[in-house]
Amino acid sequence: MKSRLLPVLLLMLLFISCQQKPVDYLKETKADKDARMEWWREARFGMFIHWGLYAVPAGEWKGQTNHAEWIRESAQIPLEEYDKFVGQFNPVKFNADDWVRMAKNAGMKYIVITSKHHDGFGLFDSKQTDFDVMSTPFKRDILKELSKACEKQGMTFCFYHSIMDWHNPDYLPRRSWETTRSTKGADFNRYRSYLKAQLKELLTHYGKLGVLWFDGEWENTWTSEYGKDLYNYVRNLQPDIIINNRVTVGRSGMAGMTQDSEFAGDFGTPEQEIPATGIPGADWESCMTMNDHWGYNKNDKNFKTTEQILRMLADIASKGGNYLLNIGPTADGVFPQESIDRLQEIGAWMKTNGESIYSTQASPFKNLPWGRCTQKKMTGGTRLYLHVLDWPADQNLMVPGLGNKPIRAYLLSDTNQEELPMTVESGGIAIQVPYKAPDAINSVIAVDIEGDPAVYDAPEITAIAGIFIDQTEVAIKKNETLSEIRYTLDGTVPTSLSTVYTSPLKVTETITITAACFKDGRAMTGNTSLTVNKVIPVSGRQVPQAKPGLLFNLYRGDWDKVPDYNGLNPNLSGIATDFSLANKASDEKFSIDYQGFINIPADGIYTLSLNSDDGSKLYIVEKLVIDNDGLHGPATKSADLALGKGLHSIRISFFEKSGGNNLELLWKTGNGKSEQVPKESFFYYR
Ligand code: FHN
């Protein structure tokens, strides 16, 4: 008996030892991550596809036409009502090869499609639920067909998968209006197992995937620990897969960049926006709709032009980011014609100029007056790609601050690569270009230079504010390598004979300072200019009957920007002593309009800053002075105002859609620190 057991025991021990212990990929080395990210960093351009049951109503519900993939939530459609779309989803015109071909011909290198959006519906044959495409009249595994088409055409296939799930009974929280849908028996850990089980299906039955693009991570039931666990779970199924930063809870609103390396995720995900500057050393991808909706909305004809899209692509690439451009297919299974047209035009430009996008790195210049720049390492030097959006009428294109020896320059669209004349000038390199721009949207000039780019940035001119009442001070920050700064005060370009800057300038009248860095009598950088204006402060008022606080009206509703209050009836009105009503974390889908006065303690230049999530607007004396409107995470906008002592009428309009919310008004004068406007500064009178 014993002799028979031994082999079994040995086999069991062998089997157990072969069960690889899960790898903790959060401890991955930089070299391993760089190798894994390489294809993605080179790709630069991908297609996002939001498709599912929501294409059936196509944005419309009971007369409202501004819905899309959120329609079950935004139109408050009960589950049993929404499930009826399953029987109507029959995209008979769907052709995976056509979709992949259109992406490929547009120059896109990867496709990210919604395997499951927030509504919980699967575009694939899942054994975990019947709430998927196999329960529709279509009965075909759409993701399987797209996987095959991508493999056939050499396109990298990727999934968007929502953590939030409005259908699975174990997912919590319920929608705020689903008051009759019981949470009894809901088990979030069982939901996490369901989430993992579906992901395992996606990661084992649809070939090698490029990216798992998580979303819907912001509700309070999902945690960083769950996200890090999910990150490792996915990586252990496909070790080379790339995962975005929405797998955990670290992204800062729409800015997208993970707040701290404590969170997981391989790249940041700014949404509907492009970071003002690149983020050196960070991987990020701006995702954007082509019109105003992710999912198909038949009434939304507000499509970005091809010019806007191509210039965004150049801007993003010049900052070292990727561009994920969205398509929302119809319920028939086709791309909207407006999208098809734009993809074809984008493809035509990419066919000629794709080299200036793929495998490039961020610009070595802080800014260029006529466009953008990307760069690529070449043997013995660097190739700069100058994206000229504003073609020089005088045919003289100045590349400011470039200190390298130029080797050659040519139009990327010129198959003969005929060299363009170049001269080393005061302030940089001048390139003689043809009279007519080769491309009305973005003409690319390739410039080969020796070695790594040596760019001398123009000096930075600073003043406390762009306006002043009596006097101000203007400083010019020296460049780290070029200490000779020369400047003019009449708006002309400084020369080797202009005044040398030695210390901050005291200014008592409106002037324009223009400065550049010089070396051996030659300007080595472009010019920087700053105009400071002398102004008269807006007089304050005395309102003896004014009382402490602000009048407010609160309105319930689902907006994507600050609403027009005309014709709206407030759900609540009263006197607010501060903005706490706007900062109630659990509250969503509302707008508040505050009105009254702000007390200015003394004449001066006040820098007011409005910080909000979502959008907000600030009016002083009925003038819109800060527009921080729109759907966004925490964002601050500021304005410098010359205000006299006394009361000035103020109005702050704010809205919150969903997710985090906050509203703050801060001020500072001079070189002081910006701080919350004290609530004692607010008054009302009615
Ligand atoms: O709620 C989703 C939205 O529907 C869409 O999928 C975008 C695309 O990134 N992500 C979320 C909003 O941030």
The reply to whether 22 falls in a domain is no
Instruction: Quote the domain boundaries for residue 210.
Output: 32-354
pLDDT tens-digit series, residues 636-671: 999 999 999 999 999 999 999 877 789 999 999 988
493 forms beta bridges with: none
- pLDDT value at 1 more than 50: no
Cite the beta strand spans of 328-442 per DSSP E.
371-378, 381-388, 396-400, 406-411, 422-425, 428-432
pLDDT of residue 671: 85
3-class DSSP state of 283: coil
3-class DSSP state of 66: coil
Which atom of ligand 1 lies closest to the CA of 295? 4
Q: Are residues 78 and 144 in the same domain?
A: yes
Our answer on whether the CB atom of 385 is closer than 6 Å to any ligand 1 atom is no
CA distance 17 to 27: 23
pLDDT tens-digit series, residues 585-630: 778 889 999 999 999 999 999 999 999 999 999 999 999 999 999 8
Contact call for residues 424 and 520 (beta carbons, < 8 A): no
pLDDT of residue 214: 98
Confidence category of residue 16, pLDDT binned at 50, 70, 90: low
Which atom of ligand 1 lies closest to the CA of 69? 4
pLDDT tens-digit series, residues 51-95: 999 999 999 999 999 999 999 999 999 999 999 999 999 999 999
H/E element holding 14? helix 2-18
Tokens of 283: 């991987």
CA of 284 to the centre of ligand 1 (A): 16
CA of 215 to the centre of ligand 1 (A): 7
Q: What is the DSSP string of 523-568?
A: E-S--EEEEEEE-PPBPPB--TT-EESEEEEEEE---SSPPP-TTP
Last residue of a domain, which of 450, 468, 499? 450
Region 516-526: what's the mean pLDDT?
90
H/E element holding 30? helix 30-43
CATH number at residue 65: 3.20.20.80
pLDDT tens-digit series, residues 296-325: 999 999 999 999 999 999 999 999 999 999
- pLDDT value at 207 more than 50: yes
Q: Are residues 553 and 517 in the same domain?
A: no
Q: Are residues 341 and 393 in the same domain?
A: no
Region 21-28: what's the mean pLDDT?
93
Which atom of ligand 1 lies closest to the CA of 70? 4
- Count: domains in the chain: 4
The reply to whether 6 falls in a domain is no
Name the amino acid, one letter, at 386: L
Q: Are residues 583 and 517 in the same domain?
A: no
Contact call for residues 640 and 678 (beta carbons, < 8 A): no
Our answer on whether the CB atom of 69 is closer than 6 Å to any ligand 1 atom is yes
CATH number at residue 468: 2.60.40
pLDDT of residue 253: 64
Our answer on whether the CB atom of 215 is closer than 6 Å to any ligand 1 atom is yes
Our answer on whether the CB atom of 287 is closer than 6 Å to any ligand 1 atom is yes
pLDDT tens-digit series, residues 437-465: 999 999 999 999 999 999 998 999 999 89
Contact call for residues 475 and 448 (beta carbons, < 8 A): no
Nearest CA to ligand 1 atom 5: 294
- CA–CA distances in Å: residue 494 to residues 163, 490, 526, 681: 58, 10, 10, 46
Confidence category of residue 17, pLDDT binned at 50, 70, 90: low
Confidence category of residue 261, pLDDT binned at 50, 70, 90: low
Which atom of ligand 1 lies closest to the CA of 287? 9
- CA–CA distances in Å: residue 630 to residues 147, 197, 289, 323: 36, 37, 15, 21
Last residue of a domain, which of 534, 558, 578? 534
Q: Are residues 465 and 444 in the same domain?
A: no
CATH number at residue 409: 2.60.40.1180
Out of 4-13, 22-31, 406-415, 595-604, least confident range: 4-13
Our answer on whether the CB atom of 271 is closer than 6 Å to any ligand 1 atom is yes
Q: Are residues 310 and 396 in the same domain?
A: no
CA distance 612 to 660: 10
Q: Are residues 403 and 518 in the same domain?
A: no
Region 519-535: what's the mean pLDDT?
92
- pLDDT value at 4 more than 80: no
Q: Are residues 193 and 316 in the same domain?
A: yes
547 alpha-carbon distance from chain centroid? 42
Q: Are residues 44 and 177 in the same domain?
A: yes
CA of 648 to the centre of ligand 1 (A): 40
Region 245-254: what's the mean pLDDT?
82
The reply to whether 382 falls in a domain is yes
Q: Are residues 287 and 141 in the same domain?
A: yes
Cβ-based neighbour number of residue 643 at 10 Å: 24
